Amino acid sequence: MKISSRAERIEPFYVMEVAKAATQLAKEVASSDRPMIFLNIGEPDFTAPPLVREAAERAIRDGSTQYTPACGLDALRERISGWYAERFGVQVPARRIVVTAGASAALQLACLALIERGDQILMPDPSYPCNRHFVSAAEGEAVLLPTTEAERFQLSADKVEAAWGDKTRGVLLASPSNPTGTSIAPDELRRIHEFVRAKDGITLIDEIYLGLSYEDAFSQTALAIDDQVISINSFSKYFNMTGWRLGWLVVPEALVPVVERLAQNLFICASTVSQYAALACFERESIAEYERRRGEFKARRDWFIPQLEAAGLPVPVVPDGAFYAWADCTALSRQLGVDGSWDFAFELMKRAHIAITPGRDFGSADTRRFVRFSTASAMGHLQEAVERLRAL
């Protein structure tokens, strides 16, 4: 069977390949004194809080399970709009919000609506691999620009301007970023967008970890800059609803009917039960619980990163958001007699029963030096992982 060139261009999602190997080994060591510790997947160990689960049950009992409008329940769009006003002091009209089947669907819709064949989209290296594959699936070209720790592994306006060419259509950024947990300084983000807009380009920004910002300097949404910024968000991370597959997209008003038309054809709508459940995310009781959990994620970061560094895995830039540690494994790889982060990850899996993610997924600019630890696991798991690292 002939496979499309589009599909052939999509690389494996290596974090999942590593996860498969870790899962297999976990079965073998499950009854040992060192079962597998999974610090490789970016999934909160928390699940949806009680009011959200109750809302889902109520929707099923009441038979509220049929299709919703393609842009989502009006009530949910209004709740999201209210969250922007209350949390960030930014007015985002509900009519500009499109509820999607996860942030993945939001990215796909944005890319299909705006990218032509051959268009180039500038992105930082390292960055979340699926983002560049959405560009590729829309027949565009993701151009990864190497970044450094001095730049917080983020693009600058100067770097965007220097890389801009005849085929450049725009930028796709993430703040906070996966895998580094770093954000773009608001002033720098404004400069990037102003340059891109002057070029009649598009600024897409992945803000799925925005609710898990820990520093006031980086905790503002890019939507505060301009209503032409396109923001992708999700109920997966801050709202702890990974498997519910629910996200949203904020677009300029003129783009709403275009995205709606695509959504009608590609998805019909996001999960109805998930949408009714998500209404309860914004109840005062739920927000209080999410904030308590955000404090727990921050406490894990504050404890774990110094421990990593003491074990010989320096983290060049302390993450200001999300739940990752982007650690340099060069010295420890040499000590263990392995070459690069891919082999290091498998050596750690084999010898210490700790699953992590090698840098290979996230780009090619020096990513052989780095591994990503997820601190989305419970503190007890992080503490045990540190003990095993010390022993190793």
Fold classification of 5-47+286-391 (topology level): Aspartate Aminotransferase, domain 1 (3.90.1150)
- Is the model's pLDDT at 332 over the cut of 90? yes
Beta bridge partners of 325: 373
Q: What is the pLDDT of residue 124?
A: 98
Q: Which tens digits make up the pLDDT trace of 38-72? A: 999 889 999 999 999 999 999 999 999 999 999 99
d(C-alpha 320, C-alpha 76), whole Å: 29
With cut-offs at 50, 70 and 90, classify the pLDDT of residue 11: confident
Share of the chain above pLDDT 70, in %: 100
Helices H / strands E in the chain, number of each: 14, 12
Q: What is the pLDDT of residue 33?
A: 87
Share of the chain above pLDDT 90, in %: 91
- Is the model's pLDDT at 96 over the cut of 90? yes
Q: What is the pLDDT of residue 21?
A: 87
Beta bridge partners of 122: 143, 171
CATH 3.40.640.10 fits 51-281, yes or no: yes
- Is the model's pLDDT at 15 over the cut of 80? no
Q: Which tens digits make up the pLDDT trace of 174-215? A: 999 999 999 999 999 999 999 999 999 999 999 999 999 999
Domain limits of the chain?
5-47+286-391, 51-281
Structural tokens at position 203: 């600024």
Q: Which tens digits make up the pLDDT trace of 336-378? A: 999 999 999 999 999 999 999 999 989 998 999 999 999 999 9
Q: Which tens digits make up the pLDDT trace of 213-257? A: 999 999 999 999 999 999 999 999 999 999 999 999 999 999 999
Strand segments (E) across the chain: 37-38, 97-100, 120-125, 141-146, 168-174, 202-206, 230-234, 247-250, 324-328, 354-355, 357-358, 370-374
With cut-offs at 50, 70 and 90, classify the pLDDT of residue 6: confident
Q: What is the pLDDT of residue 157?
A: 98
- Is the model's pLDDT at 79 over the cut of 90? yes
With cut-offs at 50, 70 and 90, classify the pLDDT of residue 18: confident
Q: Which tens digits make up the pLDDT trace of 104-154? A: 999 999 999 999 999 999 999 999 999 999 999 999 999 999 999 999 999
Cβ contact 184:147 at 8 Å = no
What does DSSP assign to residue 321? B
